[in-house]
Amino acid sequence: MQRYFIYLAYDGTNYHGWQIQPNGESIQEYLMKALFTFLRQEVEVIGAGRTDAGVHASLMVAHFDYEQELDVMLVTDKLNRILPQDISVYEVRKVKPDAHARFDAVARTYKYYITTRKYPFNRQYSCRLHHSPDFDRMNEAAATLFDYTDFTSFSKLHTDVKTNNCKVTHARWEQQDEHTWVFTITADRFLRNMVRAIVGTLLEVGAGKLTVDGFRRVIEQQDRGKAGTSVPGNALFLVDVAYPEELFL
Residues 27 and 93 in one domain: yes
Torsion of CA 73, 86, 111, 60, to 10 degrees: -40
Burial per residue of 6-24, b for 16 or more beta-carbon CB atoms within 10 angstroms, e otherwise: bbbbbbbeebbbbeeeeee
| Three-state DSSP class for residue 63 | strand
| Three-state DSSP class for residue 21 | strand
**What's residue 158's pLDDT?**
63
Torsion of CA 33, 36, 39, 40, to 10 degrees: -150
Kindly state whether residue 183 falls inside one of the protein's structural domains: yes
In the chain, beta strands by DSSP E: 2-10, 46-47, 56-66, 87-95, 107-115, 127-128, 168-175, 180-187, 236-242
Residues 167 and 133 in one domain: yes
**What's residue 122's pLDDT?**
85
> Looking at residue 15, what DSSP letter applies?
S
Residues 47 and 126 in one domain: no
**What's residue 54's pLDDT?**
94
| Mean of pLDDT over the chain | 95
| Three-state DSSP class for residue 199 | helix
Count of structural domains within the chain: 2
Residues 71 and 126 in one domain: no
**What's residue 28's pLDDT?**
98
Q: Which one of the listed residues 52, 86, 134, 223 is annotated catalytic?
A: 52
Q: What range does the domain containing 169 cover?
A: 109-239
> Looking at residue 144, what DSSP letter applies?
G
Residues 93 and 157 in one domain: no
- Strand-pair partners of 183: 112, 173
Compute the distance between CA of residue 24 and CA of residue 26 in angstroms, rounded to an integer. Answer: 7
Residues 88 and 166 in one domain: no
- Strand-pair partners of 241: 108
- Please answer whether residues 195 and 212 qualify as being in contact, where contact means their C-beta atoms are separated by less than 8 angstroms: no
**What's residue 164's pLDDT?**
85
Compute the distance between CA of residue 203 and CA of residue 228 in angstroms, rounded to an integer. Answer: 8
Kindly state whether residue 91 falls inside one of the protein's structural domains: yes
Query: Crossing angle, helix 72-82 and helix 27-39, to 10 degrees?
Result: 120
**What's residue 157's pLDDT?**
75
Given 49, 77, 103, the domain boundary residue is: 103
Residue 160 designated active-site: no
Residues 83 and 122 in one domain: no
Compute the distance between CA of residue 155 and CA of residue 192 in angstroms, rounded to an integer. Answer: 6
- Find the largest Cα–Cα distance for the chain: 59
**What's residue 106's pLDDT?**
97
Residues 235 and 139 in one domain: yes
Query: For the chain, which residues score pLDDT lower than 50?
Result: none
At 202, which CATH number? 3.30.70.660
